[in-house]
Amino acid sequence: MKKLLLSFVFVLLSIMSFAQNNWEIDPMHSSFNFNIKHMGISFVQGRFDKFAGKVMTKGANLDNASINISVATETINTGVEMRDNHLKSNEFFAAGQYPEMLFESNSVVKDKNNGYIIKGKLTIKDVTKEISIPVTFGGITKNKDGKEIMGLQAKFTIDRLQYNINYDEKGLGIAKDVDINVYLELVKK
């Protein structure tokens, strides 16, 4: 009886570990972008050029997934070197002191529109806040090399002032709200 119970536990653990899928961000097919209103009349667009992340799923969707992402603040890119250097300074991201922005999920649940709501902790500089991010699940397919890939898209807004990015606190030249667009292609490992 003891051997039968141990065999059952071993088989169950094997099935559970087999069902765990690990995915890594493919940086060649992913991007972290932002838009922020400038002078109340136009927008500045930018992106971060270096990032990494992993998603762990238990099936062919995001139900109960675990997500961890880091974005290198030093790689901010608006296409204007002088502005990028200012954004890396202590008046904005303080990239020398805070080299990464981090996101770690707490929960992933399906919403009524067949999308997902990912709740987790976003850390920028010395501030960590709970946020909810709506995500569109693009699906899973195989790439030209036969590897499984997953597509995700997220659009959300944060208040930069809540993360101690306090330059122009009144928002007269640079708005407080930042629109973020994330496009991810992940490769199954």
DSSP category for residue 185: E
Instruction: List the CATH number of the domain containing 59.
Output: 2.40.128.110
Quote the domain boundaries for residue 27.
21-188
Q: Are 72 and 50 in contact (CB under 8 A)?
A: yes
Q: Which of 157, 138, 158 is nearest to 148 (CA)?
A: 138
Q: Residue 135 domain-assigned?
A: yes
In a domain, 73, yes or no: yes
Identify the weakest region by mean pLDDT among 4-13, 79-88, 102-111, 126-135: 4-13
Q: Flag whether 105 is in a domain.
A: yes
- Judge if pTM exceeds 0.75: yes
Residue bearing the bigger pLDDT, 20 or 96: 96
Task: Give me 84's structure tokens.
Answer: 């990028």
Q: Is 18 helix (H, G, I), strand (E, B) or coil?
A: helix
Q: From CA 9, how far away is CA 15, in angstroms rounded?
A: 10
Residues 6+ apart with CB under 8 A from 23: 54, 55, 56, 57, 150, 186, 187, 188, 189
Classify residue 32: in a domain, yes or no.
Answer: yes
pLDDT range class, residue 113, cuts 50, 70, 90: confident
| Rounded average pLDDT over 159-164 | 97
Q: Look at residue 58 and tell me if it is in a domain.
A: yes
Give how many domains the chain has, as a whole number: 1
Query: pLDDT band for position 2 (50/70/90)?
Result: low
On whether residue 4 sits in a domain, the answer given is no
Which two three-digit tokens encode residue 47?
A: 């992106």
